[in-house]
Amino acid sequence: MFKTTLSIIALTAGSAAMAADNPMVGGAEMYADKNIVENAVNSEDHTTLVKLVKSAGLVETLSGEGPFTVFAPTNEAFTKLPAGTVETVTQPENKEMLTQVLTCHVVAANAMSDAIAGMIADDGGDHPVETVGGCVLSAKMDGDTITLTDENGRTANVTIADVKQSNGVIHVIDGVILPKQ
């Protein structure tokens, strides 16, 4: 009994230590030893994103080995889209469009904010970011904040950076990135 209790305490302390390096997101601890999907489902600020990832059939992909950098829009970011947009893209006939929108938020690399800021500086203040979905984002610095502008001129700010995952990193953003229209 005593040994079992110590093991549980040690596991809990170990998990807390793994989360201590990560910021809280949506009221939930984010664990570096869990993958992107395992962490995202716990964030109260990302319920819309999780619903869309499930609708697009991307759960298995984003649970995979990676590495992935995900620019994760909050629920509030989705409310900035025209009324009915989220409902429209979740219709079965729009699955391809939804998949492209979501994969325009994903880069096939593990890019922490200091690396992104370095690339922006190396490129004279504007770094092109190619996404899995075929979008090219313009990454810039606004003071200490990384901004991403899509091909339509929509800008999103990184509000929480460097949320480490077992298969990459999440950067929370306040806007939705859309493919070129």
CB atoms within 10 A of CB 149: 17
CB 83 within 8 A of CB 45: no
What backbone torsions phi and psi does residue 153 show, to the nearest 5 degrees?
90, 5
> Does residue 164 fall inside a structural domain?
yes
Q: How confident is the model at residue 8 (pLDDT cuts 50, 70, 90)?
A: very low
Residue numbers of the domain that contains 145: 2-173
Burial 155-175 (b: 16+ CB within 10 A, else e): bbebbbbbbbbbbbbbbbbbb
> Does residue 179 fall inside a structural domain?
no
pLDDT at residue number 70 = 97
pLDDT, tens only, 44-84: 999 999 999 999 999 999 999 999 999 999 999 999 999 99
Residue 17 pLDDT greater than 70, yes or no:
no
CB atoms within 10 A of CB 46: 25
> Does residue 81 fall inside a structural domain?
yes
> Does residue 165 fall inside a structural domain?
yes
Give me the CATH number covering residue 35: 2.30.180.10
Cα 100 from Cα 173, distance rounded (Å): 18
Greatest pairwise CA separation for the chain in angstroms = 62
Residue 10 pLDDT greater than 70, yes or no:
no
pTM of the model: 0.87
**Is the Cα dihedral 65, 70, 74, 80 positive or negative?**
negative
Q: Which residues, other chains included, contact 181 with Cβ-Cβ below 8 Å and sequence gap of 6+?
A: 152
Residue 88 pLDDT greater than 70, yes or no:
yes
pLDDT, tens only, 92-148: 999 999 999 999 999 999 999 999 999 999 999 999 999 999 999 999 999 999 999
Q: How many domains does the chain have?
A: 1
> Does residue 178 fall inside a structural domain?
no
> Does residue 40 fall inside a structural domain?
yes
